[in-house]
Amino acid sequence: MESSATYRELVRRRAVLGWSLSALMAAIYFGFILLVAFAKPLLAVPLGTGVTTVGIPVGLAVIASAFVLTGLYVRAANSVYDGLVRKLIEEVR
């Protein structure tokens, strides 16, 4: 099975997407941590007249980005990888 071109394509595509999304999530997360460390005044700017600051929506965006990136991976898995897996199973049989 490892000699199959379909298998190699599946492994390559999953690795590229997985590492790309992981790198993007790490950049988002560490970017937020760097903002917290070095741009506290920016994150402390109030939004409107309430107690909510810029840091709250930015932090929520970090959390939301994890869900969005997970959704992108699931979409790719359902649309691309499942087809490659079915093709690979047919090749092996």
Mean pLDDT of 12-38: 95
- Domain span including residue 27: 5-92
Q: Which residue has the higher pLDDT, 26 or 85?
A: 26
pLDDT 10s digits, 28-79? 999 999 999 999 999 999 998 889 999 999 999 999 999 999 999 999 889 8
Examine the pLDDT at 93 and tell me if it is beyond 80. no
Examine the pLDDT at 81 and tell me if it is beyond 80. yes
How far is the C-alpha of 31 from the C-alpha of 36, rounded, in Å? 9
The dihedral sign for the CA sequence 49, 50, 56, 61:
negative
Alpha helices in the chain (DSSP H): 5-38, 40-43, 55-76, 82-92
How far is the C-alpha of 53 from the C-alpha of 36, rounded, in Å? 13
Q: What total number of domains does the chain contain?
A: 1
How far is the C-alpha of 35 from the C-alpha of 42, rounded, in Å? 8
